[in-house]
Amino acid sequence: MILVTGGTGLVGSHLLYELAVRGRQVRAIKRSGSHIGLVRQLFLWYDPAHGEELFSNIEWVEGDINDIPSMQEALVGVRYVYHCAAVVSFLPDDSQLMMKVNVEGTANLVNLSLQNQVEKFCHCSSVAAVGRPERGNHVDESLVWKTSGSNSWYSISKYGSEREVWRGAEEGLASVIVNPTVIVGPGDPSRSSAQLYQSVKNGLKFYTNGVTGFVDARDVARLMVLLMEGDISGERFIINSENLPYRDLFTLFAKYAGTRPPRYRAGRFLTEMAWRLEKVRSFLTGQKPLITRETARSGNVKRYFSNEKVIKATGYTFRPVEEAAENTSLFFQKHPIYLSPDFRM
């Protein structure tokens, strides 16, 4: 039996499909009230003929990684754990929640996996936890994390979650960590990169000078399975397809959405003004800001992420980012309900 946490998220839903196609016996965690309809639609999207049957083979159980009794029950008979559940936010107000879920929740799952003699543990982390280069803008797995006032609370929480996995490895838990770059694929547009697609579709006018890595959600899921089902343990891998300017991704989304791509460059001055104005708007309206200090500043940073280690370990060939953008666009064109303001995961 395989346990997947965060099964309704972008990575988790694609991982469930990858495992189901391979005929694996899978149990997925969902929180009370979570919407699994989008996951079902993903299965049908990727396999119209057999998607319903594949989806029906997933055993859904309610649980929370900070609720130890529910996790104890979920881990009964489990041999392999894929940990995808996490809070992703760049709002300072969410710092305590991220530390609670991302760090303490991971610690709980690692401890219970050790107690239940789980054979292998895969943790879906983020390149936000890899660290920043002291010189240049090349990022690979050799970087060492350093405490800095420039680190976002999200990156701090993901680094903390990785430390819990390494601690588990020291105590005997075979494990592997993946660090995806920006994941592109159909998912909840309120809390994934699908939000970028929605912004472009709605007429986003500005772009920033930043460069970062992008990867198809299907590639992340497949590599997680390849790494788990192989002999590799005690390693971490950056999962990245291509390094592109944000403007290029926006242009690809616009191409397949049939809209005009962003055409005005927002430099550092404009983005600094933007996040401050958003903070005021958020205070006055009570709504979450669309731009934060962290997202505004990262939008102008250029980072180039290496995928050499994972390619050498697996021989994997990544999909082009354009294919990921097209897949995302076509899915939401067929299922526009998931872009509706009334839709909630």
The CATH number linked to 97 is: 3.40.50.720
Q: What is the pLDDT of residues 198-239, one digit of tens each?
A: 878 777 777 778 889 999 999 999 999 999 999 999 999 999
Residue 155: partners with Cβ closer than 8 Å, 6 or more residues away: 126, 128, 129
Would 199 be classed as within a structural domain?
no
Would 344 be classed as within a structural domain?
no
- 128-132, 225-229, 278-282, 330-334: range with lowest mean pLDDT: 278-282
Residue 274 phi/psi, 5-degree rounding, is -65, -45
As a whole number of Å, the end-to-end CA separation of the chain is 26
Count of structural domains within the chain: 1
Residue 35: partners with Cβ closer than 8 Å, 6 or more residues away: 8, 344, 345
Q: Which residues pair with 184 in a beta bridge?
A: 216
Would 275 be classed as within a structural domain?
no
Q: What is the pLDDT of residues 17-70, one digit of tens each?
A: 999 999 999 999 988 777 888 899 999 999 999 999 999 999 999 988 898 999
Would 196 be classed as within a structural domain?
no
Residue 249 and residue 321 in contact, taking contact as beta carbons nearer than 8 Å: yes
pLDDT at residue 274 above 60? no
Would 140 be classed as within a structural domain?
yes
pLDDT at residue 149 above 80? no
255, burial (CB in 10 Å: exposed 0-12, middle 13-18, buried 19+): middle
Q: Are strands 242-245 and 211-216 parallel, antiparallel or unpaired?
A: antiparallel
Confidence band, pLDDT 50/70/90 cuts, at residue 258: confident
Count of residues in the chain? 345
Judge if pTM exceeds 0.85: yes
Would 54 be classed as within a structural domain?
yes
Q: What is the C-alpha separation between 97 and 86, in angstroms, rounded?
A: 10
Q: Longest Cα pair distance anywhere in the chain, in angstroms?
A: 55
Q: What is the C-alpha separation between 133 and 140, in angstroms, rounded?
A: 9
Q: Which residues pair with 176 in a beta bridge?
A: 122, 235
Of 163, 161, 91, which is closest to residue 125 (Cα–Cα)? Answer: 161
Report the percent of the chain where pLDDT is more than 70.
Answer: 85
Average of per-residue pLDDT across 117-135: 90
Would 122 be classed as within a structural domain?
yes
- Tokens representing 52 are 């319903």
Torsion of CA 110, 114, 120, 126, to 10 degrees: 10
Compare 311 and 274 and report the one with higher pLDDT.
311
Q: What is the C-alpha separation between 41 and 203, in angstroms, rounded?
A: 26
Q: Give, for 243, the enclosing helix (H) or strand (E).
A: strand 242-245
Would you state the pLDDT for residue 341?
A: 52
The whole domain housing 77 covers 2-185+215-241+304-320
Would 293 be classed as within a structural domain?
no
Of 177, 236, 184, which is closest to residue 215 (Cα–Cα)? Answer: 184
CB atoms within 10 A of CB 280: 10
